[in-house]
Amino acid sequence: MSACREIALLRELKHVNVINLQRVFLSHSDRKVWLLFDYAEHDLWHIIKFHRGAKANKKQVVVPKGMVKSLIYQILDGIHYLHTNWVLHRDLKPANILVMGEGIERGRVKIADMGFARLFNAPLKPLADLDPVVVTFWYRAPELLLGARHYTKAIDIWAIGCIFAELLTSEPIFHCRQEDIKTSNPYHHDQLDRIFNVMGFPLDKDWEDIRKMPEHPTLSKDFKRN
């Protein structure tokens, strides 16, 4: 069902900063589906990794500010298009942001991997209600980590902010230990602790709905807040 949903969405979406689905191939013998996309030579994960390696070797190699500005502008333009068409991506991270190589689209950003994408007007399930998978929490908004049942496009904007910071520093801003396990539990103590260390613990006046989050009792217990 996930592949069918992704195919249906991609066939409707047409934007220069959203990956273009060229063809779909079905293998009846082994019941597999193959998707053919435009070829992208790079993704932000590898670009950031290159600059992180240079930084580790004490070489003054940073992503040029002009390039960062262009990349973020294109990501925001693509996400604005998705949101305008009632689509939440829900899994934005550097590995899902492709960058075209040689050719007329050189430097063009393509938002990819719509496997977690959902329509606004469809009943949204929290990510934890999907099949348990190994996921990276570094780009997840706090409301998702607290098990929010209803959320908005703000979760995509949060992820873009994380990507922005990573492009500037070559390091994930909310990097923390990741358990290499499959889990359906959205709550992640270490990830929340890292966010609070950087941003500060959210007060009721700053986040009015925090006490309504399903995992708020666990949060209060773990961080000894009332």
CA-angle at 170, arms to 98 and 188, nearest 5°: 85
Task: Reply yes or no on whether 131 is catalytic.
Answer: no
Residues forming a β-bridge with 105: none
For 93-215, where are the alpha helices, taking DSSP H only?
Answer: 142-145, 154-169, 189-199
Identify the active-site residue in 30, 43, 91, 190. Answer: 91
Give the Cα separation of 164 and 67 in Å (integer): 11
Q: How far is it, in rounded angstroms, from Cα 14 to Cα 8?
A: 12
Strand, helix or coil at 124? coil
At 97 the three-state DSSP class reads strand
Which residues are catalytically annotated?
Answer: 91
